[in-house]
Chain A
Amino acid sequence: MLKILGYPDRYSVAPGEEIAFKISLEEGSHFDARLVRVVHGDANPAGPGLKFRHIATPIDGRHPGKVQRIDAGSYMIVERAPAIAARPFTFFAMIWPTLPERHNQTLISQWGVGAMRGFRIVVHEGRLGIITADGDGVGKVLTANAMLPRQWYSVVVAVDPASGAVSLDQIPMGSYAQTADRDHVEARLDVLPAAIEAPLMIAGTSDGAGGAEFHFDGKIDGPMLCEGLRPAELHKTLREIAPVTPAPKIIARWDFSKEMETTTTIDVGPNQLHGELKQLPTRAMKGWNWTGEEHNWARKPDQYGAIHFHHDDLYDAGWETSVALKIPDDLPSGPYALHVTCGASDETATRESYVPFFVRPPRNRRIKRPDVAFLAPTCSYLAYANHAEHITARGAELQMGRLLQFGHIDLYMYDHPELGGSLYDRHADGSGVAYTSRLRPNLNCAPCYHSWLGGHGSALYQYNADTHLFDWLDHQGIDYDVITDEDLHADGLDLIRDYRVILTGTHPEYHSTFMWDAMKAWIDRGGRLMYLGANGWYWRIAFHQHLPGVFELRRAEDGIRTWEAEPGEYFHSVNGEYGGLWRRIGRAPNVIGGVGFIAQGFDLSSYYRRAPDADNPRAAFIFEGVADEIIGDFGLIGGGAAGIELDCIATHLGSPPNMLRLASSENHTPMIMLVNEEFGVVPPNLGGDLNPRVKADLAFGETPAGGAIFATGSIAWCGSLSHNNYDNNVSRITLNVLRRFLDPELFPTR
Chain B
Amino acid sequence: MTYKVDPETDRQYIEEFRRRPIGHHSPGLMRLLTVMRQDPSGRQVILVCRKPFREWVLGEMPARRDDPIAIEPGPVFTSREEAEWEVFRRRWQKLTGEAINLPYRE
Q: Spell out A's residues near B (CB within 8 Å).
A: 43-45, 347-348, 390-392, 394-395, 397-398, 401-408, 411, 414-415, 417, 448, 450, 456, 603-604, 669-670, 689
Contacts and interface: CB of A to CB of B under 8 A. Distances in A.
Contact of A603 (B22, B34, B38, B68): B22
Interface of B: 21-25, 27, 30, 33-34, 37-39, 42, 44-53, 55-56, 59, 61, 65, 68-69, 80, 83-84, 87
A450 B38 contact: no
Contacts of B33: 401
Contacts of B45: 397, 403
Contacts of A401: 22-23, 33
Nearest to A43: B52
A414 B22 CA distance: 25
Q: Identify the interface centre among B25, B52, B53, B83: most chain A CB within 10 Å of its CB.
A: B52
Contact of B46 (A43, A347, A406, A670): A406
A414 B67 CA distance: 10
A565 B21 CA distance: 37
21 contacts: A347-B50, A394-B44, A397-B45, A401-B23, A402-B21, A404-B44, A405-B47, A405-B49, A405-B56, A406-B49, A406-B59, A407-B49, A415-B68, A417-B65, A450-B49, A456-B80, A604-B23, A669-B24, A670-B25, A670-B27, A670-B30
A414 B21 contact: no
B38 A398 contact: yes
Contacts, number: 82
Given A414-B69, A417-B65, A456-B23, A45 B34 contact: no
A603 B44 contact: no
Given A406-B59, A414-B69, 20 more contacts: A394-B42, A397-B44, A401-B22, A401-B23, A402-B21, A402-B22, A403-B45, A403-B84, A404-B46, A404-B47, A405-B46, A405-B47, A406-B47, A406-B48, A406-B49, A411-B69, A448-B52, A456-B23, A456-B80, A604-B23
A398 B32 CA distance: 11
Contacts of B37: 397-398
A602 to B, nearest CB: 11
A347 B72 CA distance: 13
Contacts of A392: 65
Contact of B53 (A43, A391, A394): A43
A391 B23 contact: no
A391 B66 CA distance: 12
A348 B44 contact: no
Nearest to A393: B44
A326 to B, nearest CB: 34
A604 B22 contact: yes
Nearest to A407: B49
B42 to A, nearest CB: 6
Given A394-B39, A603-B23, A405 B34 contact: no
B24 A689 contact: yes
Contact of A406 (B30, B51, B69): B69
Contacts of A689: 24
A415 B66 CA distance: 8
Q: What 4 pairs across the A-B complex have the smallest Cβ distances?
A: A347-B50, A403-B47, A604-B23, A407-B49
Contacts of B80: 402-403, 405, 456
Contacts of A394: 38-39, 42, 44
B62 to A, nearest CB: 10
Contacts of B25: 669-670
A690 to B, nearest CB: 9
Nearest to A390: B46
Contacts of B69: 406, 411, 414
